[in-house]
């Protein structure tokens, strides 16, 4: 059982915050399929960006299911504290701090996982944000900046000392980005050393791997990121496997159809026609990896310029499949 502050979750499988992916539409679909807890995409702490077009779809929204969790990224303790307080005023119920993003444009300004190289600033950020809000504060990190500087344990101790309520650790360093295999030894060591909940992230793509990571590290929960892209059913499959030890039936073509239509329609509504059409394309690419002739669907879909045409091609694609099992 996973608990963050006063929020107790039925399951312990979490959807990772992924920029440009985990918007409110996708988070809702993942919750419907067994994600116990989902985090919104990261929002910049700089005040001038709070109400930008991009940030407008990432703020706390009272229409979202509880608990509403917002992830902030930045480097200035006061800016982050002010941004956290503003998000709470909008309805955020958990504030997560991004110290795990390895993207060059983020790390070049010493944000994201680059912050792990500056424990003093990390301490100041944690103290400022915890003091600014009356909701749980959590953090997502990497194992360190590089193989010679794995300091996730140090950061975890600081998090606990400053009053954070949970830490998520991706089993790679900043330098690794997403190359190579995630390692869980560091995560295991952190779990053994601190009392606040620890969530493991990285390369958890199957129910069997989820079970292994939970047992090996003894963490309180696991976070799923890339494995959910185009396959939100991964959450129910993991939950079922952990509970019963058996595989859950793969989604039918009808489930794929209903979910894709709902997802793409929701994207059109959330972002508007022009941007929605563009964003829908990458999601169809991911769904297509799990469908027969999915590559051809993606190629055709990427040529379309209107929401109506996108929905129409999905209907045509699935028409001959809906009478067949997966």
Among 224, 244, 264, the domain-final residue is 244
pLDDT, one tens digit per residue, over 85-107 is: 999 999 999 999 998 776 554 44
Residue 132 domain flag: yes
Neighbours of 243 (CB within 10 A): 10
The mean pLDDT of 309-318, rounded to a whole number, is: 97
The lowest-confidence range among 55-59, 116-120, 136-140, 165-169 is: 55-59
Neighbours of 305 (CB within 10 A): 11
**In this predicted model, which residue has the larger pLDDT, 59 or 108?**
59
Neighbours of 244 (CB within 10 A): 9
What pLDDT is attached to residue 317? Answer: 96
Quick one: pLDDT band at residue 325, thresholds 50, 70, 90?
low
The mean pLDDT of 295-308, rounded to a whole number, is: 97
Residue 326 domain flag: no
Residue 210 pLDDT > 70, yes or no?
yes
Residue 323 domain flag: no
Q: Which of 30, 36, 101, 107 is catalytic?
A: 101
Among 191, 221, 244, the domain-final residue is 244
**Alpha-carbon gap, residue 326 to 257, rounded angstroms:** 11
Residue 61 pLDDT > 80, yes or no?
no
Residue 77 and residue 114 in one domain:
yes
What pLDDT is attached to residue 142? Answer: 93
Is 101 designated active site?
yes
Residue 235 and residue 218 in one domain:
yes
- Residue range(s) defining the domain that contains residue 298: 253-318
Residue 107 and residue 154 in one domain:
yes
Residue 272 pLDDT > 60, yes or no?
yes
pLDDT, one tens digit per residue, over 7-59 is: 999 899 999 999 889 999 999 999 999 999 999 988 877 665 556 555 566 77
Residue 132 and residue 68 in one domain:
yes
What pLDDT is attached to residue 152? Answer: 95
Residue 239 domain flag: yes
Neighbours of 307 (CB within 10 A): 19
**Alpha-carbon gap, residue 102 to 177, rounded angstroms:** 6
Q: Which two tokens stand for residue 283?
A: 């999601």
Beta-ladder partners of 139: 97, 167
Name the residue among 260, 270, 283 with its Cα closest to residue 21.
283
C-alpha Rg value of the chain to the nearest Å = 20
Q: Indicate the angle between helix axes 253-271 and 273-288, nearest 10 degrees.
A: 160
Does this model's pTM top 0.85? My answer is yes
Residue 179 pLDDT > 60, yes or no?
yes
Q: Rounded to whole angstroms, what are the CA distances from 243 to 112, 173, 222, 249?
A: 35, 32, 15, 14
The mean pLDDT of 215-229, rounded to a whole number, is: 97
**Alpha-carbon gap, residue 145 to 158, rounded angstroms:** 17
Instruction: Please state whether beta strands 7-9 and 13-15 pair in parallel, antiparallel, or not at all (unpaired).
Output: unpaired
What pLDDT is attached to residue 178? Answer: 84
Contact 49, 55 (CB under 8 A): yes
Among 244, 274, 302, the domain-final residue is 244
How many structural domains compose the chain?
2
Residue 237 and residue 300 in one domain:
no
The mean pLDDT of 263-271, rounded to a whole number, is: 96
For residue 275, report the phi and psi dihedrals to the nearest 5 degrees. -70, -35
Residue 240 and residue 267 in one domain:
no
Quick one: pLDDT band at residue 254, thresholds 50, 70, 90?
very high
What pLDDT is attached to residue 41? Answer: 87
Beta-ladder partners of 28: none
What pLDDT is attached to residue 207? Answer: 97
Query: Which residue has tokens 């400022």?
Result: 128
pLDDT, one tens digit per residue, over 155-168 is: 999 999 999 999 99
The lowest-confidence range among 109-123, 194-208, 232-246, 273-287 is: 109-123
Residue 261 and residue 233 in one domain:
no
């Amino acid at each position: 059982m996973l608990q963050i502050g006063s929020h107790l979750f039925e399951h312990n499988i979490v959807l990772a915050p992924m920029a440009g992916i985990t918007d409110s539409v996708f988070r809702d679909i993942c919750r419907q399929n067994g994600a116990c807890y989902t985090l919104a995409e990261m929002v910049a702490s700089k005040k001038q960006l709070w109400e930008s077009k991009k940030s407008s779809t990432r703020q706390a929204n009272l229409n979202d299911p509880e608990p509403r969790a917002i992830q902030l990224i930045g480097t200035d303790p006061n800016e982050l504290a002010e941004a956290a307080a503003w998000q709470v005023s909008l309805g955020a119920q958990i504030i997560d701090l991004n110290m795990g993003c390895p993207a060059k444009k983020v790390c070049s300004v010493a944000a994201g996982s680059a912050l792990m190289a500056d424990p003093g600033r990390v301490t100041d950020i944690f103290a400022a944000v915890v003091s600014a809000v009356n909701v749980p504060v959590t953090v997502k990190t990497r194992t360190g900046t590089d193989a010679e500087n794995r300091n996730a344990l140090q950061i975890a101790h600081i998090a606990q000392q400053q009053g954070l309520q949970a830490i998520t650790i991706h089993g790679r360093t900043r330098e690794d980005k997403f190359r190579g295999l995630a390692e869980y030894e560091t995560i295991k060591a952190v779990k053994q050393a601190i009392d606040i909940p620890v969530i493991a992230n990285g390369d958890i793509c199957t129910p069997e791997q989820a079970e292994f990571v939970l047992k090996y590290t003894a963490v309180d929960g696991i976070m799923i990121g890339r494995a959910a892209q185009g396959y939100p059913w991964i959450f129910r499959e993991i939950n079922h496997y952990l509970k019963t030890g058996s595989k859950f039936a793969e989604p039918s073509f009808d489930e794929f159809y209903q979910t894709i239509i709902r997802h793409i329609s929701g994207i059109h509504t959330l972002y508007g026609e022009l941007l929605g059409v563009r964003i829908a394309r990458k999601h169809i690419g991911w769904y297509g990896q799990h469908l027969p002739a999915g590559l051809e669907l993606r190629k055709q879909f990427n040529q379309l310029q209107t929401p109506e045409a996108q929905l129409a091609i999905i209907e045509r694609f699935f028409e001959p499949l809906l009478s067949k099992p997966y």
